[in-house]
Amino acid sequence: RLAAAAAAASSLGQPGRRASVGGGAAAAAAAAALPSARRTYGSEAKEEEELRIRYLDDEHKGIVVLGLNRSHAKNALNKNLLKMMSKAVDALKSDKKVRTVIFRSEVPGIFCAGADLKERAKMHSSEVSSFVSKARATINEMANLPVPTIAAIDGTALGGGLELALACDIRVAASSAKMGLVETKLAIIPGAGGTQRLPRTIGVSLAKELIFAARVVDGEEAKSMGLISHVVEQNEAGDAAYRRALALAKEFLPQGPVAMRVAKLAINQGMEDLCENIFLGIAFGVNNELLLCSLQTIPTKDRIEGLLAFKEKRPPRYKGE
């Protein structure tokens, strides 16, 4: 079921190749101000690009960064942005050279403000249902990427923006960031997986409290409840969470690519099929899903290389085979 990309700050000096997806309709109000940070993917970057994709090179080769860039609309999710995100994710999931994907914002002070409500206000009720379904499907596609994913939350993540972050395996946030599922304020509910992923992340009772109250928490509060894995003090450039996410992604690079993909699959399916796996464990003395996933790594060349490297006391040279 589980099938199985935003740039490094120029001060980091990381070269890379960039693919850009442009276009999009105007939407909600201007982004709230933080200390301004100039973020680009290179001199050829264009202002109209709403989703920026960068494949990092050198010591970060294998890391892909997806950057939301709708500054005029606080990175709100509209039809066009969802279409671009879906297209990018579809390309990433079949690219064996991709090892980790980082989702970030190119707009200072904002991660994603949720759905584009100005666009939605112009929709017929039937169109709204279709839009919500598309948002949910796109975020599910993100969750199902076969490689580790990290959300770098350097600003506000509300509604669908937080749902996007929740679909990532790991979340890193600046202490000043604000996040919450605030849909009940608009007499609706989180429609892109938030009602399922938030309880799985922080527990049912606390998730209900946050959703019922439409509560917004900062990075420190989010860390204390397990909503994020790492909290960092914001820096002058406004990209502290991204820098931490990049360092974390770099830790993943030396590991066996096939093993990383299969480990994610086993963890995700084990969480989804908890009851089934408990039954199988009692009846047969084995976690069937874990066994099937583990068997996938046994015939790989990487497994043999790992053993050989250990024997020869050298770093392994994995090829994802």
Active site residues: 115, 160, 163, 183
Retrieve residue 168's tokens: 């990532």
Place of tokens 């991709």: 98
| Residue for token pair 């929740």 | 166
Structure tokens that stand for 313 in this block: 């006391």
What is d(CA 124, CA 109) in angstroms, rounded to the nearest whole number?
32
CB 106 within 8 A of CB 52: yes
What is the crossing angle of helices 274-284 and 257-272, to 10°?
A: 100
CB-CB contact of 7 with 74 (8 Å):
no
The DSSP output letter for 31 is P
Percent helix, strand, coil in the chain (nearest 5)? 45, 15, 40
Taking only Cα atoms into account, the Rg of the chain, rounded to an integer number of angstroms, comes to 20
Local structure of residue 29 (DSSP, 8 states): P
Q: Can you tell me the distance from the alpha carbon of 135 to that of 79, in angstroms, rounded to the nearest whole number? A: 9
Question: For residues 238 and 35, is the Cβ–Cβ distance under 8 A?
Answer: yes
Q: Report helix, strand or coil for 110.
A: strand
Instruction: Quote the CA–CA distance of 119 and 79 in Å, as a whole number.
Output: 9
